[in-house]
Protein backbone atom coordinates (compact mmCIF):
# COMPACT_ATOMS: atom_id res chain seq x y z
CA UNK A 1 0.00 0.00 0.00
CA UNK A 2 2.81 2.41 0.88
CA UNK A 3 5.58 1.06 -1.34
CA UNK A 4 9.02 1.57 0.21
CA UNK A 5 7.91 4.53 2.31
CA UNK A 6 7.31 4.26 6.03
CA UNK A 7 3.57 4.72 6.75
CA UNK A 8 2.32 7.86 8.43
CA UNK A 9 -0.12 7.75 11.31
CA UNK A 10 -2.70 9.71 9.33
CA UNK A 11 -2.77 6.87 6.77
CA UNK A 12 -4.41 4.54 9.27
CA UNK A 13 -7.65 4.14 11.18
CA UNK A 14 -7.94 4.02 14.95
CA UNK A 15 -11.43 3.08 16.14
CA UNK A 16 -11.37 2.02 19.80
CA UNK A 17 -14.30 3.39 21.78
CA UNK A 18 -14.08 3.94 25.52
CA UNK A 19 -16.96 2.75 27.68
CA UNK A 20 -18.78 5.54 29.46
CA UNK A 21 -19.13 3.14 32.41
CA UNK A 22 -17.23 -0.08 33.21
CA UNK A 23 -18.37 -2.98 31.06
CA UNK A 24 -20.60 -5.61 32.66
CA UNK A 25 -18.24 -8.54 32.16
CA UNK A 26 -16.37 -11.29 33.99
CA UNK A 27 -13.23 -10.42 35.92
CA UNK A 28 -10.12 -12.47 36.47
CA UNK A 29 -7.65 -12.25 39.32
CA UNK A 30 -4.65 -14.30 40.36
CA UNK A 31 -4.49 -15.76 43.84
CA UNK A 32 -0.76 -16.36 44.03
CA UNK A 33 2.41 -16.59 42.01
CA UNK A 34 4.57 -13.99 40.39
CA UNK A 35 5.56 -13.44 36.81
CA UNK A 36 8.57 -13.69 34.56
CA UNK A 37 10.83 -10.62 34.29
CA UNK A 38 10.55 -10.71 30.51
CA UNK A 39 8.06 -12.31 28.10
CA UNK A 40 7.94 -12.27 24.30
CA UNK A 41 5.14 -14.29 22.68
CA UNK A 42 5.66 -13.17 19.08
CA UNK A 43 6.55 -16.69 17.98
CA UNK A 44 2.89 -17.66 18.50
CA UNK A 45 1.49 -14.68 16.58
CA UNK A 46 0.02 -14.78 13.10
CA UNK A 47 1.11 -12.25 10.44
CA UNK A 48 0.27 -8.69 11.47
CA UNK A 49 -2.92 -7.37 9.90
CA UNK A 50 -3.41 -3.98 8.28
CA UNK A 51 -6.69 -2.34 9.21
CA UNK A 52 -6.13 0.44 6.66
CA UNK A 53 -8.39 3.48 7.09
CA UNK A 54 -11.40 2.04 8.96
CA UNK A 55 -11.85 1.78 12.72
CA UNK A 56 -11.45 -1.98 13.08
CA UNK A 57 -8.54 -2.07 15.56
CA UNK A 58 -10.52 -3.92 18.25
CA UNK A 59 -11.65 -6.56 15.75
CA UNK A 60 -8.06 -6.98 14.53
CA UNK A 61 -6.80 -7.36 18.10
CA UNK A 62 -9.43 -9.99 18.94
CA UNK A 63 -8.76 -11.92 15.74
CA UNK A 64 -5.04 -11.77 16.52
CA UNK A 65 -5.75 -13.30 19.95
CA UNK A 66 -7.81 -16.13 18.42
CA UNK A 67 -5.17 -16.91 15.81
CA UNK A 68 -2.58 -16.83 18.61
CA UNK A 69 -4.50 -19.62 20.35
CA UNK A 70 -4.42 -21.75 17.21
CA UNK A 71 -0.66 -21.47 16.83
CA UNK A 72 0.16 -21.81 20.51
CA UNK A 73 -2.04 -24.91 20.65
CA UNK A 74 -0.05 -26.49 17.83
CA UNK A 75 -2.87 -26.25 15.30
CA UNK A 76 -2.37 -25.02 11.73
CA UNK A 77 -3.22 -21.37 11.21
CA UNK A 78 -6.58 -20.63 9.63
CA UNK A 79 -6.68 -16.86 9.04
CA UNK A 80 -9.89 -15.33 10.38
CA UNK A 81 -11.83 -12.34 9.08
CA UNK A 82 -11.51 -9.08 11.07
CA UNK A 83 -14.11 -7.51 8.75
CA UNK A 84 -16.65 -10.16 9.82
CA UNK A 85 -15.95 -9.48 13.50
CA UNK A 86 -16.03 -5.71 12.98
CA UNK A 87 -19.42 -5.87 11.27
CA UNK A 88 -20.98 -8.12 13.92
CA UNK A 89 -19.58 -6.08 16.79
CA UNK A 90 -21.27 -3.00 15.35
CA UNK A 91 -24.39 -5.06 14.67
CA UNK A 92 -24.70 -5.73 18.41
CA UNK A 93 -24.60 -1.95 18.88
CA UNK A 94 -27.09 -1.24 16.08
CA UNK A 95 -24.41 0.68 14.16
CA UNK A 96 -23.50 -1.76 11.41
CA UNK A 97 -23.84 0.90 8.69
CA UNK A 98 -21.40 3.28 10.39
CA UNK A 99 -17.63 3.12 10.61
CA UNK A 100 -18.01 3.94 14.27
CA UNK A 101 -15.26 1.87 15.83
CA UNK A 102 -15.98 -0.67 18.57
CA UNK A 103 -16.10 -1.11 22.28
CA UNK A 104 -13.72 -3.93 23.16
CA UNK A 105 -16.32 -6.06 24.90
CA UNK A 106 -18.59 -5.73 21.87
CA UNK A 107 -15.87 -7.27 19.71
CA UNK A 108 -15.47 -10.16 22.14
CA UNK A 109 -19.25 -10.54 22.44
CA UNK A 110 -19.48 -10.73 18.64
CA UNK A 111 -17.14 -13.73 18.72
CA UNK A 112 -19.33 -15.43 21.32
CA UNK A 113 -22.54 -14.67 19.40
CA UNK A 114 -21.49 -15.15 15.78
CA UNK A 115 -18.13 -16.93 15.86
CA UNK A 116 -15.46 -15.93 13.36
CA UNK A 117 -15.43 -16.91 9.72
CA UNK A 118 -12.35 -17.59 7.64
CA UNK A 119 -10.66 -14.64 5.98
CA UNK A 120 -11.01 -16.26 2.56
CA UNK A 121 -14.81 -16.27 2.95
CA UNK A 122 -15.03 -12.57 3.85
CA UNK A 123 -11.76 -10.91 2.77
CA UNK A 124 -10.62 -7.60 4.19
CA UNK A 125 -11.97 -5.15 1.63
CA UNK A 126 -12.72 -1.95 3.45
CA UNK A 127 -15.29 -0.77 0.90
CA UNK A 128 -17.48 -3.62 2.21
CA UNK A 129 -17.28 -2.62 5.87
CA UNK A 130 -21.02 -1.80 5.99
CA UNK A 131 -22.22 -4.89 4.11
CA UNK A 132 -23.55 -7.87 5.96
CA UNK A 133 -21.40 -10.95 5.35
CA UNK A 134 -23.20 -13.59 3.26
CA UNK A 135 -25.08 -16.44 4.93
CA UNK A 136 -22.31 -18.92 4.15
CA UNK A 137 -19.97 -16.94 6.40
CA UNK A 138 -22.31 -17.45 9.36
CA UNK A 139 -22.98 -21.07 8.43
CA UNK A 140 -19.27 -21.82 8.32
CA UNK A 141 -18.07 -19.58 11.13
CA UNK A 142 -15.81 -21.11 13.72
CA UNK A 143 -17.17 -21.23 17.23
CA UNK A 144 -14.85 -20.84 20.17
CA UNK A 145 -16.59 -22.67 22.99
CA UNK A 146 -13.46 -22.83 25.13
CA UNK A 147 -12.59 -19.18 24.57
CA UNK A 148 -13.53 -16.71 27.27
CA UNK A 149 -12.80 -13.09 27.99
CA UNK A 150 -12.42 -11.28 31.28
CA UNK A 151 -11.16 -7.96 32.56
CA UNK A 152 -7.94 -7.63 34.49
CA UNK A 153 -7.70 -5.01 37.20
CA UNK A 154 -4.01 -4.10 37.06
CA UNK A 155 -0.99 -4.19 34.75
CA UNK A 156 0.66 -6.59 37.22
CA UNK A 157 -2.12 -9.10 36.58
CA UNK A 158 -1.56 -8.63 32.85
CA UNK A 159 2.09 -9.64 33.38
CA UNK A 160 1.01 -12.81 35.19
CA UNK A 161 -1.36 -13.68 32.34
CA UNK A 162 1.34 -13.06 29.75
CA UNK A 163 3.78 -15.19 31.75
CA UNK A 164 1.27 -18.01 31.39
CA UNK A 165 1.12 -17.55 27.64
CA UNK A 166 -2.01 -15.45 27.30
CA UNK A 167 -2.16 -12.24 25.19
CA UNK A 168 -3.96 -9.14 26.46
CA UNK A 169 -6.21 -6.83 24.45
CA UNK A 170 -6.08 -3.25 25.67
CA UNK A 171 -7.38 0.17 24.70
CA UNK A 172 -5.93 3.57 25.47
CA UNK A 173 -6.07 7.19 24.44
CA UNK A 174 -2.76 8.93 23.69
CA UNK A 175 -1.56 11.79 21.47
CA UNK A 176 -0.95 10.73 17.88
CA UNK A 177 2.70 11.73 17.90
CA UNK A 178 3.45 8.71 20.09
CA UNK A 179 2.21 6.47 17.26
CA UNK A 180 4.21 8.48 14.73
CA UNK A 181 7.39 7.93 16.73
CA UNK A 182 6.67 4.21 17.14
CA UNK A 183 5.97 3.82 13.42
CA UNK A 184 9.50 5.02 12.69
CA UNK A 185 11.49 3.54 15.57
CA UNK A 186 9.40 0.70 16.99
CA UNK A 187 9.33 2.42 20.38
CA UNK A 188 7.02 5.02 21.90
CA UNK A 189 8.71 7.85 23.85
CA UNK A 190 8.34 8.25 27.59
CA UNK A 191 5.21 9.82 29.02
CA UNK A 192 5.18 13.59 28.96
CA UNK A 193 6.79 13.89 25.53
CA UNK A 194 3.65 14.88 23.60
CA UNK A 195 1.05 15.49 26.28
CA UNK A 196 -0.40 18.68 24.80
CA UNK A 197 -1.60 17.11 21.54
CA UNK A 198 -5.02 15.71 20.62
CA UNK A 199 -5.81 12.14 21.68
CA UNK A 200 -6.66 9.10 19.57
CA UNK A 201 -8.30 5.95 20.94
CA UNK A 202 -6.74 2.71 19.75
CA UNK A 203 -6.68 -0.98 20.66
CA UNK A 204 -3.75 -3.34 20.36
CA UNK A 205 -2.72 -6.80 21.54
CA UNK A 206 -0.05 -7.01 24.24
CA UNK A 207 2.18 -10.04 23.63
CA UNK A 208 5.07 -9.36 25.98
CA UNK A 209 6.89 -7.08 28.39
CA UNK A 210 10.36 -6.38 29.76
CA UNK A 211 10.69 -5.33 33.39
CA UNK A 212 14.34 -4.31 32.96
CA UNK A 213 13.47 -1.86 30.18
CA UNK A 214 10.07 -1.00 31.68
CA UNK A 215 8.13 -1.58 28.46
CA UNK A 216 5.22 -3.54 27.02
CA UNK A 217 5.43 -5.31 23.66
CA UNK A 218 2.31 -4.60 21.58
CA UNK A 219 1.10 -6.04 18.29
CA UNK A 220 -0.48 -3.27 16.24
CA UNK A 221 -2.81 -3.63 13.24
CA UNK A 222 -1.17 -1.23 10.78
CA UNK A 223 0.75 -3.80 8.77
CA UNK A 224 4.34 -4.98 9.03
CA UNK A 225 5.74 -1.62 7.88
CA UNK A 226 4.84 -0.18 11.27
CA UNK A 227 7.58 -0.18 13.91
CA UNK A 228 9.33 -3.53 14.40
CA UNK A 229 7.56 -5.53 11.69
CA UNK A 230 4.17 -4.48 13.03
CA UNK A 231 5.05 -4.38 16.75
CA UNK A 232 6.13 -1.62 19.11
CA UNK A 233 7.41 -1.16 22.65
CA UNK A 234 5.35 1.04 24.99
CA UNK A 235 6.76 2.41 28.28
CA UNK A 236 5.02 1.28 31.45
CA UNK A 237 4.52 4.89 32.50
CA UNK A 238 2.68 5.71 29.28
CA UNK A 239 0.25 2.81 29.75
CA UNK A 240 -0.21 3.61 33.44
CA UNK A 241 -1.11 7.17 32.52
CA UNK A 242 -3.33 6.60 29.51
CA UNK A 243 -4.76 3.07 29.55
CA UNK A 244 -8.50 3.06 30.05
CA UNK A 245 -9.77 1.69 33.33
CA UNK A 246 -11.13 -1.83 32.92
CA UNK A 247 -9.75 -2.05 29.39
CA UNK A 248 -7.18 -4.79 29.96
CA UNK A 249 -8.79 -7.94 28.59
CA UNK A 250 -7.52 -11.50 28.87
CA UNK A 251 -8.64 -13.69 25.96
CA UNK A 252 -8.32 -17.48 25.91
CA UNK A 253 -9.17 -20.66 27.82
CA UNK A 254 -9.28 -18.78 31.09
CA UNK A 255 -10.57 -21.61 33.27
CA UNK A 256 -7.35 -23.52 32.56
CA UNK A 257 -5.09 -20.71 33.77
CA UNK A 258 -3.17 -21.64 36.91
CA UNK A 259 -3.93 -19.73 40.11
CA UNK A 260 -6.62 -17.66 38.33
CA UNK A 261 -10.12 -17.04 39.57
CA UNK A 262 -13.05 -15.84 37.49
CA UNK A 263 -15.70 -13.85 39.32
CA UNK A 264 -18.46 -11.34 38.69
CA UNK A 265 -20.94 -11.77 35.83
CA UNK A 266 -20.83 -14.97 33.82
CA UNK A 267 -20.17 -14.86 30.08
CA UNK A 268 -23.83 -15.64 29.47
CA UNK A 269 -24.90 -12.72 31.65
CA UNK A 270 -22.40 -10.44 29.94
CA UNK A 271 -23.71 -11.51 26.53
CA UNK A 272 -27.30 -10.78 27.52
CA UNK A 273 -26.25 -7.35 28.75
CA UNK A 274 -24.62 -6.53 25.40
CA UNK A 275 -27.65 -7.79 23.49
CA UNK A 276 -30.00 -5.69 25.61
CA UNK A 277 -27.90 -2.56 26.05
CA UNK A 278 -25.32 -2.66 23.26
CA UNK A 279 -26.85 0.19 21.28
CA UNK A 280 -27.05 2.45 24.33
CA UNK A 281 -23.50 1.55 25.37
CA UNK A 282 -22.18 2.53 21.94
CA UNK A 283 -24.17 5.78 21.92
CA UNK A 284 -22.90 6.65 25.40
CA UNK A 285 -19.32 5.93 24.30
CA UNK A 286 -19.67 8.15 21.23
CA UNK A 287 -21.26 10.89 23.33
CA UNK A 288 -18.35 10.65 25.76
CA UNK A 289 -15.91 10.82 22.85
CA UNK A 290 -17.60 13.90 21.39
CA UNK A 291 -17.54 15.55 24.81
CA UNK A 292 -13.83 14.81 25.21
CA UNK A 293 -13.13 16.23 21.75
CA UNK A 294 -15.14 19.36 22.59
CA UNK A 295 -13.33 19.76 25.91
CA UNK A 296 -9.98 19.24 24.18
CA UNK A 297 -10.75 21.91 21.59
CA UNK A 298 -11.89 24.31 24.30
CA UNK A 299 -8.71 23.67 26.28
CA UNK A 300 -6.61 24.31 23.19
CA UNK A 301 -8.48 27.54 22.52
CA UNK A 302 -7.98 28.64 26.13
CA UNK A 303 -4.29 27.72 25.98
CA UNK A 304 -3.87 29.66 22.74
CA UNK A 305 -5.56 32.72 24.25
CA UNK A 306 -3.41 32.47 27.35
CA UNK A 307 -0.30 32.13 25.23
CA UNK A 308 -1.29 35.18 23.19
CA UNK A 309 -1.89 37.20 26.37
CA UNK A 310 1.50 36.14 27.71
CA UNK A 311 3.21 37.19 24.47
CA UNK A 312 1.45 40.56 24.44
CA UNK A 313 2.41 41.16 28.06
CA UNK A 314 6.02 40.28 27.28
CA UNK A 315 6.00 42.68 24.33
CA UNK A 316 4.57 45.43 26.54
CA UNK A 317 7.24 44.72 29.16
CA UNK A 318 10.00 44.96 26.55
CA UNK A 319 8.57 48.21 25.13
CA UNK A 320 8.34 49.69 28.62
CA UNK A 321 11.95 48.68 29.29
CA UNK A 322 13.10 50.43 26.08
CA UNK A 323 11.17 53.59 27.00
CA UNK A 324 12.83 53.66 30.40
CA UNK A 325 16.26 53.26 28.76
CA UNK A 326 15.57 56.21 26.42
CA UNK A 327 14.59 58.58 29.20
What band does 3 get if pLDDT is binned at 50, 70 and 90?
very low
Q: Mind giving me the DSSP string for 248-293?
A: EEEEE-GGGSTTEEEESS-HHHHHHHHHHHHHHHHHHHHHHHHHHH
> Mapping DSSP to helix (H, G, I), strand (E, B) and coil, where does residue 166 land?
coil
pLDDT of 107 > 70? The answer is yes
Report the Cα–Cα distance between both ends of the chain, in Å, rounded. Answer: 67
pLDDT in the model for residue 86: 96
pLDDT at 307: 55
Tens-place pLDDT, residues 28-84 = 988 776 899 999 999 999 999 999 999 999 999 999 999 999 999 999 999 999 999
Domain positions in the chain are 9-326
pLDDT, position 301:
43
Is the pLDDT reported for residue 288 higher than 60?
no
Q: State the average pLDDT over residues 95-107.
A: 88
pLDDT band at 282 (very low <50, low <70, confident <90, very high): low
| 245 confidence band (pLDDT: 50, 70, 90) | low
**Using CB atoms within 10 A of its CB, is residue 106 exposed (0-12), middle (13-18) or buried (19+)?**
buried
Question: 9-326 sits in which CATH class?
Answer: alpha beta
Strand partners, 27: 151, 263
pLDDT of 1 reads 43
For the segment 12-39, what is each residue's pLDDT rounded down to a tens digit?
888 777 766 677 788 898 877 689 999 9
Report, as an integer, the average pLDDT of 232-244. Answer: 91
pTM of the model: 0.82
Question: For residue 206, what is the enclosing H or E element?
Answer: strand 199-210
Q: Is the pLDDT of residue 214 over 50?
A: yes
Say if residues 21 and 151 touch (Cβ distance below 8 Å).
no
pLDDT of 96 over the 80 cut: yes
Residues 12 and 52 sit within 8 Å (Cβ to Cβ): yes
Cα–Cα distance for residue pair 183/229, rounded to 1 Å: 10
Amino acid sequence: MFGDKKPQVEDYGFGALRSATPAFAPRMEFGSGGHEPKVDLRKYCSPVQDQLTIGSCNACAIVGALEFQMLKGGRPLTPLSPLYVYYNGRKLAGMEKEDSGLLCHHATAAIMAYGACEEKRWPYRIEKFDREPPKECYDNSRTFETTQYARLSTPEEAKVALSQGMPIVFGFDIPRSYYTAAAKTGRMPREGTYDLESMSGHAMLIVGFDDHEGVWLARNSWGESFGEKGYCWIPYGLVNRYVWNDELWAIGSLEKVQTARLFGPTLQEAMRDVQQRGAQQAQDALKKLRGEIRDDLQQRTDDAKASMRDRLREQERQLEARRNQNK
